[in-house]
């Protein structure tokens, strides 16, 4: 038996929502899992990237054995019902750029879990799948919108349960995703964050995140522009993303631009705007990055309201 699952890309954090906010985007990975009948064949993991040769180097470094994150997630699911995975063939067809802050690892974890769950007769519900995916990924902000679609606020309770709610993203707010041609691993981007932060910065983010939630519910652009600020991760990551500061600065005082944030751990940048010239966003970002010899792929995208789907 063979099951395929199509999973959207995700952009996490959105400024003040570090490790708890994220939305799904219409770029997809498709994960297929096949239980092979021949015993002793072990696991086989095949990767096909539609982004190659851009991702060729990163692709070569992805483990193709039991250390692969998809296999790890699938193994945890099997173990949770007292089973061991049998002989598995895992195919990953990837459109989501890797190590760019667009949730490519969450997409394959979620895809693997949903496919394996279907193969097992659906023993795990959405909450259980989210808990396993979060355990493998480390935080719920990408995996939650990858499973659910839309714009999602998520947190993890002490017992591991994921608490999550969908928020209403105003459809008229445009999202411009600017993907530079260099990689930044989440591990490196997290390693520059401090163990502790000043109380004033914690309060700053709490206030801005609360304002952001109110802004999306009331479609309040002025409030959103105020809310899209962060002191917990972006200032520390600036040094890893050349041009980031200049790009944020360029849009700061533009009417119609609600904000410019790092997508997840970066280096992709996301610009939120309303009734603003999207070509101007593209040329501004291109000018800044190309002056530093960085090529950029700029895409105007709508939030993907559909989460992971099992393909029949
Ligand atoms: N919230 C995470 C981070 C997302 O910023 O490190 C990265 O996957």
Find the CATH number of the domain harbouring 138: 3.30.230.10
Question: What ligand 1 atom has the least distance to the C-alpha of 193?
Answer: 6
CATH code where residue 226 lies:
3.30.70.890
CA–CA gap between residue 285 and residue 307 (Å, rounded): 29
Q: What's the CA gap between 51 and 32, in Å, rounded?
A: 18
Note the pLDDT tens digit of each residue in 251-279.
999 999 999 999 999 999 999 999 999 99
Tens of pLDDT, residue by residue over 159-215, are 889 999 999 999 999 999 999 999 999 999 999 999 999 999 999 999 999 999 999
What spacing in Å lies between the alpha carbon of 12 and ligand 1's midpoint?
6
| Closest to 27 measured CA to CA, from 128, 174, 136, 177 | 177
Domain range for 75 is 2-168+303-311
The pTM score is 0.93
Q: What stretch of H or E contains 223?
A: helix 221-227
H or E element at residue 24: strand 21-35
Residue nearest to atom 1 of ligand 1 (CA): 19
Q: Assess whether pLDDT exceeds 70 at residue 56.
A: no
Please tell me whether residues 108 and 145 are part of one structural domain: yes
Q: Are 103 and 96 in contact (CB under 8 A)?
A: yes
Same domain, 293 and 307: no
Same domain, 77 and 219: no
- Give the count of alpha carbons within 13 A of 33, CB side only: 26
* pLDDT digit string, tens, across residues 131-151: 999 999 999 999 999 999 999
* Ligand 1 center from residue 86 Cα (angstroms): 32
Do 179 and 160 have their domain in common?
A: no
Q: Whose CA is nearest to atom 3 of ligand 1?
A: 265
- Determine the distance separating the centroid of ligand 1 and the alpha carbon of 59, expressed in angstroms: 20
Q: Could you give the number of structural domains in the chain?
A: 2
User: How far is 256 from 311, CA to CA, in rounded Å?
Assistant: 39
Cβ < 6 Å from ligand 1: which residues?
A: 12-13, 18-19, 139, 141-142, 186, 189-190, 233, 264-265
């Amino acid at each position: 038996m063979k099951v395929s699952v199509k999973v959207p890309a995700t952009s996490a954090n959105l400024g003040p929502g570090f490790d708890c906010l994220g939305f799904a985007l219409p770029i997809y990975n498709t994960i297929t899992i096949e239980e092979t009948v021949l015993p002793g064949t072990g696991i086989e993991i095949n990767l096909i990237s539609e982004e190659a040769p851009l991702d060729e180097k990163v692709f070569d470094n992805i483990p193709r054995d039991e250390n692969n994150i998809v296999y790890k997630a699938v193994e945890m699911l099997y173990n949770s019902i007292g089973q061991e995975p049998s002989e598995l063939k895992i195919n990953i067809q990837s459109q989501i750029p890797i190590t760019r802050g667009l949730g490519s690892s969450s997409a394959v974890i979620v895809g693997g879990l949903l496919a394996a769950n279907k193969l097992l007769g659906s023993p795990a519900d959405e909450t259980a799948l989210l808990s396993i995916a979060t355990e493998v990924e480390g935080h719920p902000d990408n995996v939650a919108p990858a499973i659910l679609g839309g714009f999602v606020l998520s947190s993890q309770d002490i017992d591991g349960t994921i608490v999550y709610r969908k928020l209403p993203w105003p459809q008229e707010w445009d999202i411009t995703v600017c993907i530079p041609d260099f990689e930044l691993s989440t591990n490196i981007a997290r390693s520059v964050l401090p163990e502790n932060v000043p109380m004033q910065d914690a309060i700053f983010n709490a206030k801005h995140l609360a304002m952001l939630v109110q802004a999306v519910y009331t479609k309040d652009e002025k409030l959103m522009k105020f809310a899209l600020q962060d002191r917990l991760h972006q200032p520390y990551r600036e040094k890893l993303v050349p041009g980031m500061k200049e790009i944020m600065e360029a849009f700061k005082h533009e009417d119609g631009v609600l904000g410019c944030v790092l997508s997840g751990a970066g280096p992709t940048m996301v610009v939120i705007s309303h009734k603003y010239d999207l070509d101007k966003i593209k040329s501004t970002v291109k000018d800044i990055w190309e002056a530093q010899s960085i090529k950029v792929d700029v895409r105007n995208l709508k939030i993907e309201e559909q989460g992971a789907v099992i393909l029949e």
